[in-house]
Structure 1
Amino acid sequence: MSPLVTRTALALLASCACAAHAADWSDTSLSYRYGTKFAEPFNNNDITKNIVNLSSVSGYKYGKNFFSVDFLMSSEVDPSSAGAKSGAHEAYALYRHTLDLGKVTGSSWAFGPVRGVGATAGFDFNSKTDAGYNSKKRMIVAGPTLMLDVPGFLDVSLFALWESNAPYNTFTGAATPRYAYKTHPMLTAAWGIPFNIGIPLSFEGFANFIGTKGKNEFGGDTARETNIDMQIMYDLSGAVGAGKNTFKVGIEYQFWKNKFGNSDTNNPGATAKTPMVRAEYHF
C-alpha cells in the first residue's frame, strides 16, 4: 500500500471513529456459534470450532459504524503449533464506517429500490496461532455503498481492498516478511431482514465476492473467493419476558470457496460448507 493511500485511509478512519461518541442509536451483542465442518486450506480434516463474537452497530447524524471481533477456537486437527495436541486460536476484527451522502448533503439520493447512497471505509485485522501459516492479516477497504429500501436493512458495496500478510510456519521456522497483495475488488452485501410466520424471525448475513489478488507471498497464483454466511434467527425474548431482540437463537450456514484466495483445486480444505448453531444476547 502506498504511503498516500495509508495516510488517507488512516485519516478517514480516525475521523469516523470520532463520530462514534455521538451515536443516536446502538446495538451491542455477544454471540456464540458452534460447528463441526469448518475447513482450512491445505488441511483435509473437518475442524470443530467454538466462536465467540462481540459486535456493535451504531448510527449517528451522518451515518453508521459497525465493529465486530470473532474469537475462534479450533479443535486439535487445526493445531496451534507443530506437533501440538491443542487447537489453534484466532482473533479476527472488522470495522466499517458508512457516511450517508444524503444526510451529509441534506438532499435525497434515493432512486428505484435504493433509499440512500453512502461512502464506506474500514479495516480487517487478524491473528492466528495455527502451525502451518500463522496469519497476520492487515487490510484497508473503501468504496461506495447502496442502501436498499427493504424491511430492516440490505447494504450492497463495491470495495477496493489493500491487503497484506506476514505468516510464520512453525513446522519449518520460516518467517515471511510482510507482503502486500495486488489491490483487488470485493462486491459485498450485508443484510438483516425481519419476517414473521407466527413467530418472530429474521434472515441475516453477508456475502463477499472477492477478485484475485495477484501472486501470493510464495509466488503462487490466487483465486477468486466467495464467502456467504447466512442465518435464520428466532427472537425468543418474549418467551422469557425480555425486551424485543434481546435473546436470539438460530441456525447458520457458511459457504466459503477458495478461502483467503487459495484455490481448492487439489486442495479440498480451501472450500468450507459449514452448518452451525448460534445464540445471541443483545444489550
Structure 2
Amino acid sequence: MKKSNATRMPMLGVAFVGLLAGAGAAHAADPSAGASTASSTSNSSSATQVAQAGGSISSAAPLTLSQASTVTAPLSPPPSLYTPPTSWNDTYIGYRVGTNFYYPGVRTASGAPAKITQNIGYLTTTGGFKYGSYAFNVDYLVSSMANPEAGPTNAYGYATAGSGGAQEVYSVGRVTFSASKIFGRPFSYGVMRDFGLTVGYEFGTKNDAYAERARMVVVGPTIDFAIPNGFWNVTLGVRTESNHDGITNVEVHFNPAVHLESSWLYAFRLGPVPLVFKGFASVTGPKGRDGFGVETTTEFLTRAYLLADVGSFVGHPRTAYMGLGYEYWHNMYGTRSSEQPGTTQTSVPMFVAEIHF
C-alpha cells in the first residue's frame, strides 16, 4: 500500500481549501471562507488558502485550504456597496459527503483502486481585522472501510487493517496583511482592488497505515481582484512541507516548492433563489523525493461549491446553506500516476450543507 508523502491541502480546503473557504461579506446570498488555499486540501480543503460560506453581505468574506488542502482570506472586503467594517467575523460549521475518493496506494484485496466514501465535518472562522483578514478551517474526515484505520502490526512490522475506516484531522490557516489597510490608502489599479502578503500553515494527521503527520508553511504576495458581489484573490509563493511515512517509517523533509493558490466567491440570484458560487484551486510544484525515494511531480487540487441560501425561505437568511460541491485532485500528494496507477486522482461530486452563526 504505497503512498506518497505529500499532504492534503485546502480547503484553503481551499481547504478552506477544505477549502478551506467561507465568507463574511459577499454573504448576502452567499458565503465563503476565503483563505486562498488548501492542499490541500486539504481536506481541503485548504488549501492554499481551500473556501466555505458565511457572514452578511455587508461584512466581507475571506477564506484554504486546505483543506486542504487550502483556505485564503480575501485581502479586503468586496467593493463599493458591499464595503464591510474593518473588523468582522463569520463562523460556521459544515458537512460534505462524497462516494468516489481515492488515495495513492490504497487498493482492494484484488489490487484494484479502492473507491472510498468520506463523511467530512468542518469548522471555519473567517474575518477582518485592522491590518488585513484571516481564515482558519479544520476538517474531520471519516473514510469507509475501503480506507481502513491501522490495526496491530504483523510479523513483518507492517500495520494490518483495523476494524473501522481511517480518520483524519486536517487544518488550514491563512492571514493576509492588506497594503491598503496598513498604509491607510487605496492600493487599487485597474482590475486590482488590493495587494498584500499572505502567510499560513497546514497541519494534518491520519490513523491509517501511512500515518500522515503533515506540517506545511505557505508565504507569498497576494493580489485581490475587483469583482462585483464577491471576491477573487490569487497568491503566488513558496510552500515548505515535512511529513511522516508510516510504511517506510521515515520522517520526510521536502524541498521548498513553488505554490500558486486562488479562492473566489460570487453571490447571485436565480429567480427567487439566492445562490453563492465559491471555491479554491491550488497548484504545487515538484518538491523532491517522497518517503519511498520517488521524485514527486506537480499536483493540482480544486474544490468548488454551488450553495443555495435555504434559510431565506424560512425567514432566516444567511444562516443555512445547502447545495452541491465538486473536488478534483490530480497527482495527489505529488505522486506520479505511473507510481500508483488508478489511485492518484480523485474526481468526486459532493453534497454540502453549512450552518452560519
TM-score, normalized by the shorter chain, greater than 0.5: yes
**DSSP 3-state at the match of 1:85:** strand
**Cα distance in 2 between the residues matched to 1:110 and 1:31:** 34
SS state of the match for residue 146, structure 2?
coil
Q: Which residue of 1 aligns with 2:296?
A: 222
TM-score, normalized by length of structure 1?
Answer: 0.87
Q: Deviation at 1:102?
A: 1.4
User: 1:45 is matched with which residue: 114, 119, 128?
Assistant: 114
Match of 1:189 in 2: 262
Q: 1:30 is matched with which residue?
A: 93
CA distance in 2, matches of 1:277, 1:146: 31
Unaligned runs of 5+ in 1: 1-22
> How far, CA to CA, are the matches of 2:287 and 2:130 in structure 1?
36
State the 1:218 CA deviation. Answer: 2.2
Match 1:211 to one of 282, 285, 293? 285
Match in the other structure for 2:147: 78
RMSD: 1.3
Say if 2:227 is the partner of 1:153.
no
Whole-Å Cα distance in 1 between the matches of residues 175 and 349 of structure 2?
A: 29
Identify which of 314, 322, 326 aligns with 1:240: 314
In 1: Cα distance, 2:189 partner to 2:266 partner: 20
User: Displacement of 1:275 after TM fit?
Assistant: 0.6
Deviation at 1:267, TM superposition (A): 2.0
1:68 corresponding residue in structure 2: 137
% of aligned pairs identical?
Answer: 35
Partner Cα distance (2:204, 2:295) in 1: 22
State the distance in 1 between where 2:254 and 2:290 align. 7
**Matches of 2:337 and 2:256 in 1, distance apart?**
22
Bigger mean CA deviation after superposition, 89-98 or 144-153 = 144-153
Once the two structures are TM-superposed, the CA of residue 26 in structure 1 deviates from its matched residue by 0.4
Partner of 2:330: 257
Aligned to 2:201: 123
2:242 matched to 1:168? no
Q: Deviations over 1:189-220 (max 9, x none)?
A: 11111011111001111000111111112211
Q: 1:155 offset after TM fit, Å?
A: 1.2
Q: Offset of 1:159 from its aligned partner?
A: 2.0
- Measured in 1, the distance between the counterparts of 2:354 and 2:314 equals 14
CA distance in structure 2 between the partners assigned to 1:223 and 1:179 by the alignment: 16
Query: Relative to total residues, which structure has the larger helix share, 1 or 2?
Result: 1
CA deviation vs aligned residue, 1:88-137 (integer Å, no higher than 9, x gap): 00000011000001111122211121100010001000000112x11100
What is the letter of the counterpart of residue 192 of structure 1? Answer: L
Q: What is the CA–CA distance in structure 2 between the aligned matches of 1:268 and 1:110, rounded to whole Å?
A: 45
Distance apart, 1:185 and its partner CA: 1.0
User: Normalized per residue, which structure has more strand?
Assistant: 1
Q: Aligned AA for 2:232?
A: L
How far did 1:72 drift? Answer: 0.1
Matched letter for residue 141 of structure 1: V
Q: Distance in 2 between matches of 1:282 and 1:155?
A: 23
Number of matched residues?
A: 255
Q: Distance in 2 between matches of 1:56 and 1:267?
A: 37
Report 1 or 2 for greater relative contact order, CA contacts < 8 Å, sequence distance ≥ 6.
2
Counterpart code for 1:155: N
2:168 is aligned to 90
TM-superposed CA distance for 1:229, in Å, is: 0.5
Whole-angstrom CA distance in 2 between matches of 1:209 and 1:55: 22
1:158-190 deviation per Cα after TM superposition (whole angstroms, max 9, x unaligned): 120010102223xxxx421x3210100111111
1:58 is aligned to: 127
Determine the C-alpha separation between the residues in 1 that align with 2:293 and 2:149.
Answer: 25
Inter-partner Cα distance in structure 2 for 1:211 and 1:186: 6
Q: Secondary structure at the match of 2:343?
A: helix
